[in-house]
């Protein structure tokens, strides 16, 4: 019988225990299903997922002599159990991706497989360590990053699995009754944004591993440069990690090896790995608070009078706040699917503190626009900035975008790059913005808002927060 791999977010051949297990079961049948969960994720991340799918499909074809991924449309728990029954398959392999929506789907899958005595087997690989392996002294989950990070370093990440073999035997049995989609005919996944094509860095696991090596060669510049959106000092791996084109355990293992042989990079690599642990921490929190993307982890914050349908939300989404660093970040994200981490913080702080708009509206816009969208990282960071997360910034911490711009973008290069009109900018990237937005958004060159709005927003936010704390 064939070995079935249910692909969800693990588009790679290296360190992929689910793939290894499927290969061990029999001739490989890798399946990707365009289901409700896929179609309800944001446009940019769906587009990015398509590129990951294309890339893995091409690599698999090379290894199998022509057989790629079978793409089907529908609900996995309705399609796969009858297929498995027909083919006499007893195990369905999947890399675990522990969101609450996936848990529900896995539950339905198990129920559908049970009557035929078949099972769903979940495999690790998405994280450095199993989120439940790290517990506090009294068995609970960590709510604070530093002790969590210490525990991860002490325990050490799980060792990567072996790479998939050079030659893979593919399943050639006919899939009666099913109508697989051709990769380039899976149109719903394509409905991205034209600008993303223009700015996209290469996708696929080869590109991801090369990017990691390239970053490790310049890791000594990371601690000094990582807060600077005008420089290219960070790894740029988040897109690849989000779709599983690179395994975090391989990132860890290669980085540790590099720190050993190139001690000049050791400090930079140490800092970089702390960030990779933040990613694990966000999943640790998501498992503890499955509602993290939709509800405040500190429930008292549900009582905060967030503005829900403020007209300023549209201005923020359209990058028309009049604050240069905020608008530059929002335009970078719209056009490229990415935004520098520091700028994400400032942009999120502007929405939740200066405009007092519900953090969930910001989270949703990010989820639609980011190619590195990750449900855990996005939710943890939004709650951190808004002040309602378990590990949140203090309420009075309100980023001053002008001061941050001086600090992070001292020559204004980042802002000039993305804002047509800022400081006489005429960069090609800034012009692409005007071409890519819907006509209704086009207000011509970017214009700053009145200087008083900074102080006004800050004072209003502090007053609202102080009043909330008093009640």
What b-and-e string marks burial along 162-191, b requiring 16 or more CB atoms within 10 Å of the CB?
eebeeebbbbeeebeeeebbebeebeebee
Q: Which residues pair with residue 134 across a beta bridge?
A: none
278 or 441: CB nearest ligand FAD = 278
CA distances from 254 to 43, 93, 201, 273, 277 (A): 32, 27, 22, 11, 15
283 or 433: CB nearest ligand FAD = 283
13 or 285: CB nearest ligand FAD = 285
Q: CB 273 → ligand FAD: shortest distance, Å?
A: 8
Q: CB 236 → ligand FAD: shortest distance, Å?
A: 4
282 or 336: CB nearest ligand FAD = 282
Q: CB 339 → ligand FAD: shortest distance, Å?
A: 7
Closest CA to 163 of 294, 36, 292, 59: 59
71 or 219: CB nearest ligand FAD = 219
Q: CB 458 → ligand FAD: shortest distance, Å?
A: 19
CA distances from 108 to 79, 340, 380 (A): 12, 38, 27
Q: CB 305 → ligand FAD: shortest distance, Å?
A: 21
Cα separation, 452 vs 463, in Å, equals 17
Closest CA to 331 of 450, 422, 269: 422
CA angle 300, 306, 309 (to 5 degrees): 145
Residue recorded with tokens 């309705």: 78
Closest CA to 201 of 227, 229, 238, 230: 238
What the block records as the tokens of 76 is 């996995």
Which residues, at least 6 apart from 459, have a Cβ–Cβ distance to it below 8 Å? none
DSSP 8-state symbol, 132: G
278 or 468: CB nearest ligand FAD = 278
Q: CB 63 → ligand FAD: shortest distance, Å?
A: 27
Q: CB 312 → ligand FAD: shortest distance, Å?
A: 18
Residue 93, φ and ψ in degrees, nearest 5: -100, 135
3-7, strands of its sheet edge to edge? 70-73, 28-34, 3-7, 91-95, 119-123
Q: CB 56 → ligand FAD: shortest distance, Å?
A: 19
172 or 291: CB nearest ligand FAD = 291
> What sign for the dihedral angle of Cα 291, 292, 298, 303?
negative
94 or 381: CB nearest ligand FAD = 381
Gyration radius (Cα) of the chain, Å? 23
227 or 413: CB nearest ligand FAD = 227
Strands (E), 70-171: 70-73, 91-95, 119-123
Site residues (CB under 6 A) for ligand FAD? Answer: 226, 234-238, 241-242, 272, 275-276, 278-279, 282, 341, 344-345, 348, 366, 370, 372-374, 377-378, 381-382, 385
Q: CB 215 → ligand FAD: shortest distance, Å?
A: 7
């Amino acid at each position: 019988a064939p070995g079935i791999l249910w692909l969800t977010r693990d588009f790679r051949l290296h360190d992929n225990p689910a793939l290894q297990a499927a290969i061990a079961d029999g001739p490989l049948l890798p399946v990707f299903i365009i289901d409700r969960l896929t179609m309800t994720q944001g446009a940019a991340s769906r587009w990015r997922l398509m590129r990951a799918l294309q890339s893995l499909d091409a690599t698999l074809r090379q290894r199998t002599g022509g057989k790629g991924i079978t793409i089907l449309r529908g609900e996995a728990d309705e399609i796969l159990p009858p297929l498995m029954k027909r083919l006499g398959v007893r195990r369905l392999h999947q890399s675990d991706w522990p969101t609450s929506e996936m848990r529900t789907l896995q539950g339905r899958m198990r129920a559908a497989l049970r009557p035929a005595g078949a099972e769903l087997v979940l495999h690790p690989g998405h994280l450095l360590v199993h989120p439940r392996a790290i517990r506090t002294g009294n068995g609970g989950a960590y709510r604070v990053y530093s002790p969590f990070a210490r525990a991860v370093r002490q325990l050490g990440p799980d060792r990567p699995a072996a790479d998939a073999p050079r030659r893979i035997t593919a399943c050639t049995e006919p899939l009666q009754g099913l109508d697989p989609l051709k990769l380039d005919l899976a149109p719903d996944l394509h409905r991205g944004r034209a600008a993303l094509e223009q700015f996209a860095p290469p996708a696929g696991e080869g590109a991801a591993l090369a990017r990691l090596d390239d970053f490790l060669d310049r890791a000594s510049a990371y601690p000094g440069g990582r807060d600077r959106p005008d420089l290219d000092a960070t790894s740029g791996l988040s897109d690849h990690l989000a779709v599983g084109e690179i395994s975090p355990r391989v990132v860890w293992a290669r980085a540790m090896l590099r720190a050993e042989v190139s001690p000049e990079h050791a400090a930079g690599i140490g800092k970089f790995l702390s960030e990779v642990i933040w990613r694990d921490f966000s999943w640790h929190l998501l498992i503890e608070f499955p509602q993290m993307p939709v509800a405040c982890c500190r429930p008292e914050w549900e009582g905060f009078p967030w503005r829900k349908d403020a007209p300023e939300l549209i201005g923020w989404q359209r990058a028309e706040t009049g604050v240069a660093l905020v608008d530059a970040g929002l335009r970078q994200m719209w056009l490229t699917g990415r935004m520098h981490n520091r700028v994400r913080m400032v942009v999120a702080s502007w929405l939740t503190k200066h405009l007092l708009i519900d953090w969930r509206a910001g989270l949703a816009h990010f989820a639609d626009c980011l190619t590195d969208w990750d449900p855990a990282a996005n939710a943890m960071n939004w709650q951190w900035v808004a002040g309602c997360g378990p590990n949140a910034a203090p309420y009075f911490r309100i980023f001053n975008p002008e001061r941050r711009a001086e600090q992070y973008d001292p020559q204004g290069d980042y802002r000039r790059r993305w804002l047509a009109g800022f400081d006489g900018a005429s960069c090609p990237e800034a012009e692409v913005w005007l071409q890519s937005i819907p006509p209704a958004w086009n207000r011509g060159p970017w214009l700053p808002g009145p200087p008083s709005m900074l102080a006004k927003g800050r004072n209003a936010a502090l007053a609202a927060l102080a009043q909330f704390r008093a009640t």
